[in-house]
Structures are given as structure tokens and as C-alpha cells.
């Protein structure tokens, strides 16, 4: 029982800290990366760039989402997709101007 | 003319739901700390009840915070503070959840080390609770997160 309690507690502590996400603020520009997470309810995506940075992007009314030159719905986005994003840095917030699905 | 928004907005549910669990979890920690030196049901049982109710409230606050995130994050100048706030809140609520589990195991085994571990998790959790609250206050008072800013001439209040 003592061992089970210790394992359970250790698991909870590790889970607590691993549940945290960190994001990065990058300069305005165009970045290519992989969609790490999609939050449809918030129209939000996390994009992991090749140099290990995580961009948290909340779509705005002005954000365009395209695939092969066609405008597509947000529901087309899935984890693991390669995307090219153009972002504008406002303060430390990243506003996505365009998101292009590459595959 | 600007229209005064409805008060019961999604993002307002979060500040309405966080303060009770903050109070409960801090007082629960104090009760459990005292129970290490003082015998009697009041401190130990009282601390347990406060802890259980506080953890339920803590998870409700995480839920309402997640709802608020979807609304306010687009308007913040530094959303990294919001991310730190969310991370600290998750660590905090998991620490207090660990304390609840330890409390339940303690009720069967009655081992002192379990009680010490539980109080330790609650003390560290209280530290994270204070930090979470500080970041939340920073979001509101420095970035006006979820706050309606009236027009210069207050026309919407006429």
C-alpha cells in the first residue's frame, strides 16, 4: 500500500508539471511548422517551428486559412499538419495574418 | 454610441468563481498545519472538509478560466502572462488534488508520513495559489483582461 501511495503521488506530481504548456513570442514574419494542438472552441492553434519554438495563435476575423490556394474552414486543421503562418507581433501577442496548410 | 455590455459575460464567470476556493484552500492549509500540533477533530476534520470543497471549487475555476481564455486572449498585449497564470493554476490544483488523495489514503493507513506529505503538498500548493492570484491580478490591472473600458465621455451610461 505504501508503494502504491508513493507511485500514485509521484505520478500526480509529474502529471501536474507535465500538463503545463509554454509558448514563445517571436518577431513578425513568416514561419513554417507543425500543428501541435488544435482548439476548435477557441479557434486557436499551437504551431511548433523547426527551431523548437511554440507559437500560440488565436485566429482573428482577418486571419485567412488556405490550402492549395483555396480558402478552407478552420475544421480542416488537424494535429501534425505542416503549415506556413504569417504573424504580426502586437506587444507580445502574435496575431495570425495568414495560415497556409502545406499538406 | 457605445453600448454597455451585459455584465454576465463568459469571461466574468472566472473572477466570480475563483475567490471562494482561494479562501477555502488557504484556510484548509492553515487548519491542516495546526492539526500537526493540536489534536482534536476541529482542525483535522475541518481542514479536510475545506480541502475537499476547495478542490472542487478549484477545478470549477480551471473550467471557467478556460472559457475566459478563449475570450480575452485575443485582446491581451502579453498573453504569455495568461499562459503562466494557467500553468501555475494547473500545478496548484493538482497539488491540492494530490493532498485529497493522500488524505483518503491516510484515513485508512493512519501513517504520519502521509499526513506530513499531504500538508507539504498543501503548503507548496498555497505558494502556487498566491502566484496564480498575483498573475491573475496582473492580467486584470495591467492588461484589462475581461474588463470593459468605458468610452471617454461615458456616453453609454447616459
What pLDDT, on the 0 to 100 scale, is given for residue B77?
95
Q: Is the pLDDT of residue B133 over 70?
A: yes
**Closest alpha carbon to B88 in A20, A58, A42, A78:** A20
Could you tell me if A60 lies within 8 Å of chain B, comparing CB atoms?
yes
* Min distance A9 CA to chain B CA atoms (Å): 6
Residues of B in contact with A56 (CB under 8 A): 79, 83
Residue from the list A5, A16, A91 with its beta carbon closest to the beta carbon of B105: A5
Q: Which residue has the cell 492553434?
A: A45
In the predicted structure, residue A102 carries a pLDDT above the cut 90: yes
| Mean pLDDT, chain B, whole residue set | 94
Terminal Cα-to-Cα distance of chain A (whole angstroms): 51
The answer, yes or no, to whether ipTM is higher than 0.85 is no
- Nearest CB partner across the interface for A8, out of B83, B94, B101: B101
Note whether B51 contacts A: Cβ–Cβ < 8 A. Answer: no
> Does the structure show a pLDDT above 90 at B118?
yes
pLDDT tens-place string over residues B51-63 = 999 999 999 999 9
CB B77 within 8 A of CB B19: no
Question: How confident is the model over B17-27, as a mean pLDDT?
Answer: 97
- Global pTM reads 0.87
Distance from CA of B99 to the nearest CA of A (A): 9
Residue B30 has pLDDT above 80, yes or no: yes
State the average pLDDT over residues B12-31.
97
Q: Judge whether residue A31 has pLDDT over 90.
A: yes
CB B13 within 8 A of CB B68: yes
Q: Are B102 and A9 in contact (CB under 8 A)?
A: yes
pLDDT surpasses 80 at B120: yes
Strands (E), B4-128: none
Q: Is A19 on the interface with B (CB under 8 A)?
A: yes
Per-residue confidence (pLDDT) for residue A82, from 0 to 100: 95
CA distances from A46 to A58, A60, A82, B99, B127 (A): 9, 15, 12, 32, 29
**Residues from chain A contacting residue B79 (CB–CB below 8 Å):** 23, 56, 92-93
Pairing state of beta strands A44-49 and A29-39? antiparallel
Q: Is the pLDDT of residue A24 over 70?
A: yes
Q: What is the DSSP string of chain A?
A: -HHHHHHHHHHHHHHHHHT--------SEEEEEEEEEEEGGGTEEEEEETTS-EEEEE--TT-EEEETTEE--GGG--TT-EEEEEEEEETTEEEEEEEEE--
Closest Cα in chain B to A96: B74
Closest CA to B62 of B29, B96, B101: B96
B124 lies within 8 A of chain A by CB: no
Q: Distance (Å) from the C-alpha of residue A69 to the closest C-alpha of chain B?
A: 26
Q: Which of B83, B90, B95 sits opposite A23 (nearest CB)?
A: B83
**What local confidence, expressed as pLDDT, does residue A21 receive?**
73
Interchain pair A22, B87: CB under 8 A = yes
A80: alpha, beta or left, given left = phi > 0 and alpha = psi -120 to 50?
A: left
- State which H helix or E strand residue B148 sits in: none
What number is the average pLDDT over the span A79-102? 95
Return the pLDDT at A1.
Answer: 62
Amino acid at each position: 500500500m505504501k508503494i502504491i501511495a508513493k507511485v500514485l503521488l509521484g505520478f500526480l506530481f509529474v502529471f501536474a508539471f507535465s500538463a503545463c504548456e509554454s509558448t514563445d513570442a517571436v518577431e513578425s514574419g513568416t514561419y513554417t511548422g507543425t500543428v501541435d494542438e488544435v482548439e476548435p472552441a477557441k479557434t486557436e492553434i499551437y504551431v511548433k517551428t523547426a527551431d523548437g519554438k511554440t507559437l500560440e495563435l488565436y485566429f482573428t476575423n482577418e486571419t485567412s486559412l488556405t490550402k492549395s490556394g483555396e480558402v478552407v474552414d478552420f475544421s480542416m486543421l488537424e494535429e501534425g499538419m505542416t503549415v506556413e503562418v504569417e504573424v504580426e507581433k502586437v506587444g507580445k501577442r502574435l496575431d495570425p495574418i495568414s495560415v497556409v496548410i502545406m499538406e | 454610441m457605445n453600448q454597455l455590455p451585459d455584465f454576465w459575460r463568459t469571461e466574468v464567470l472566472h473572477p466570480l468563481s475563483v475567490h471562494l476556493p482561494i479562501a477555502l484552500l488557504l484556510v484548509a492549509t492553515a487548519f491542516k498545519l495546526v492539526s500537526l500540533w493540536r489534536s482534536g477533530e476541529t482542525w483535522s476534520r475541518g481542514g479536510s472538509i475545506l480541502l475537499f470543497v476547495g478542490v472542487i471549487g478549484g477545478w470549477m475555476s480551471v473550467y471557467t478560466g478556460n472559457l475566459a481564455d478563449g475570450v480575452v486572449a485575443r485582446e491581451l498585449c502579453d498573453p504569455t502572462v495568461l499562459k503562466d497564470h494557467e500553468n501555475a493554476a494547473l500545478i496548484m490544483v493538482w497539488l491540492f488534488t494530490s493532498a485529497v488523495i493522500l488524505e483518503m489514503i491516510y484515513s485508512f493507513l493512519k501513517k504520519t508520513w502521509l499526513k506530513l506529505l499531504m500538508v507539504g503538498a498543501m503548503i507548496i500548493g498555497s505558494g502556487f495559489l498566491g502566484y496564480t492570484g498575483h498573475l491573475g491580478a496582473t492580467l486584470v490591472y495591467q492588461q484589462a483582461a475581461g474588463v470593459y473600458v468605458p468610452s471617454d465621455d461615458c456616453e453609454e451610461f447616459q
